[in-house]
Amino acid sequence: MGSQQTEQRAQVLPAASGSTTTVRLHRSNILAFFRAFDSFLVIGTLWMSLFLVGVSWNNSYTWLGVVAITAFVYFTESNEVYHLWRGFSTPALANRLLLAWLGTSIVLLIVALILGLIVNVNLTAILSWLVITPVVIIFCHWLRRKFLALFRRQSSQRRIAIVGATPLGQRLTTAIQNLPWMGYQIQGYYDDRQPSGDPLRRLDDNEMRVEGTLANLQTAARNGEVDMIFITLPMAAERRVRKLVHELADTTVSAYIIPDVFGFDLLHSRLTAFQGIPAVSIYDSPLADQGLNKRLFDIICTLGILALAAIPMLIVAIGVKLDSPGPILFKQARYGVGGEKIKVWKFRSMKVCEDDGQVIQATRNDPRITRFGAMLRRTSLDELPQLFNVLEGSMSLVGPRPHAVSHNEFYRAQIQGYMLRHKVKPGITGLAQISGFRGETETMDKMVGRIAYDLDYIRNWSLALDIKILFLTAFRGFVGQSAY
């Protein structure tokens, strides 16, 4: 009995009684330092700008400094600048830092006007500060990455093995190669499976060179030839993954499991955790964390547009009234964010005001359209009253265009993922509209194309994308051959 016990390996209990196993988020002390260092740079560049111009520090500059640090910390955090897991490329990081400083500059301007600080500061020094600061911050981050890449390449590279000759493993390789400052060196791929012609299971040998089997990997791990192992096998290989992880307990390598969630048609996926329990969303809204930023952007831009469009809107209202009998404005039921029904305002462009279960889409030479209304629809001027929908919060300047309720109910049964476009507020203009899918969608293919652009907008949303769409709308979105 005793000899039998010595031959069997003892099993370690999963956790002591009363303890809880959780997954902790990996954090970077270097990025934590730079979070504080960037705040120091904001104040330092302000002091330097005043010194170069020969201006003494006063309380107005103290206020501006405090507001700048507070706003910059907020915008960098909302842009996930200091989140290690994002792994931005250097140009992408520079872009996010610039956007954060642009938001900071706008906040500074508003605060300075409200508090009357402008009369007490030197504008030359302030303008120099606003220009110098992002350049200095971006340069410091670039220098940090260059130094880390050089240091780790010469002294502390971590050797990585990837389990699974899969598209996910290939994608991981590309990501690691784009992050040289992380100090990772890929030793190779390991997989027991033979190529089957199915790229979702195992890539062919000409696409990915496999170093050996999982048994070879375990030998390399025991011999200290590998520091980290990333498992990228498909989710269906759970039993094989469990067996491998169990056997890796006989080594000192750090093992990571990368779930192949990319096999799903992800909308806007986010990684989150609940008291250490990790979760990855499949169909999520990009505005779950950024809704306030987009809302502030909508309000500021809408007020500016209304200031410019007030007189043209008055002229349009007079034209609608003189052209045909009926109301100047009318509202139609649409689906808003979350599929909630909203009322959308428009200038009347037809002789009828349809808002029932049988709304018929406008077509070429539609007899319902008035003469003046035809011009409004071609130029999208009939949509201008939706600026008030934006102000009240039921719509956004940019987003998927709202369809009639009856059209929604029809297409949701015909097009997979159609209702996912309602994960964000509908917009006055959108990515589909500047990409050629404006106006009538008389075929299913055209509607499928429009929905594809709507979902791409949600997947890739950013304030920069909204600004780009608004800019291109001026050239592509107001007129179109399919707008009747």
| Confidence at residue 235, expressed as pLDDT on a 0 to 100 scale | 81
What is the rounded (10 degree) CA torsion for 43, 47, 49, 54? 160
The tokens describing 417, both together, are 């993922």
For the stretch 19-34, pLDDT in tens is 556 666 666 677 788 8
Write down the residue that tokens 């390996």 correspond to.
Answer: 9
Contact residues for 65 (Cβ-Cβ < 8 A; gap 6+): 42, 43, 46
Domains of the chain, start order = 29-152 (no CATH), 157-263 (3.40.50.720), 287-477 (no CATH)
Q: What are phi and psi of 334, to 5 degrees?
A: -140, 170
| Confidence at residue 3, expressed as pLDDT on a 0 to 100 scale | 45
Q: Provide DSSP, 367-414.
A: TTB-HHHHHHHHHTGGGTTHHHHHHHTS-EEESPPPPBHHHHHHHTTT
Phi-psi region of 338 (alpha: psi -120 to 50; beta: other; left: phi over 0): left
Name the 3-class secondary structure at 336.
coil
| Confidence at residue 373, expressed as pLDDT on a 0 to 100 scale | 74
d(CA 193, CA 229): 18
Contact by Cβ (8 Å): 377, 483? yes
Contact residues for 230 (Cβ-Cβ < 8 A; gap 6+): 160, 161, 162, 163, 169, 172, 256, 258
Q: Report residues of the chain scoring pLDDT below 50.
A: 1-7, 13, 481-484
Cα first-last separation, the chain: 89
| Confidence at residue 2, expressed as pLDDT on a 0 to 100 scale | 47
| Confidence at residue 484, expressed as pLDDT on a 0 to 100 scale | 42
For the stretch 366-419, pLDDT in tens is 667 777 777 877 777 888 899 999 999 999 999 999 888 888 888 888 888 888
| Confidence at residue 388, expressed as pLDDT on a 0 to 100 scale | 93
Q: Provide DSSP, 107-153.
A: HHHHHHHHHT-GGGS-HHHHHHHHHHHHHHHHHHHHHHHHHHHHHHH
